[in-house]
Structure 1
Amino acid sequence: MASQRDIDGRDPMHDIHDTPDNRSHQAQSHKANLSNPNTSEKSKKRSAEALQSLGGEDAFYSKDEAEKKADGVAPK
């Protein structure tokens, strides 16, 4: 089944899972891959590139930071 496209031709479901939690989980996976001694250099290179495209260290997300950003007050 093909997905419908919106007026500009983009798939409206394309970014459905692009949430801070999901990006953080992806970043954690790539960081783990980089520190794994059993991973190939080719795989580590791909993970490093993916981590950069996710935002580097800024891709890691914590609920405390989100709460602080939402109301401008540090959580208790």
Structure 2
Amino acid sequence: YIRNVKTLGIWAVGLVGGSYVEAPKVVNGTVAEFNVGYLPSRTFAVDMAGFAVNLRVVMNSTAVFGLHCKERYAPET
């Protein structure tokens, strides 16, 4: 469940990208690759509905986001 995510959680998403399901492939408790239809070569090939980040992680981070994304890698609109 989303409420049990301590840091980052990831799960399968159905009916996305022309596939019945897109999901991470997990080996020994670690995500090894992603079974996705759209640009599987992306570093984190995850649909926006397929992950959650604990808000404490976000609020305690000093990370910043740039204004420009690589073509075809921009967030979904």
TM-score (norm 2): 0.23
Task: Pick the structure with more helix per residue.
Answer: 1
TM-score (norm 1): 0.23
Task: Pick the structure with more strand per residue.
Answer: 2
Greater C-alpha Rg:
1
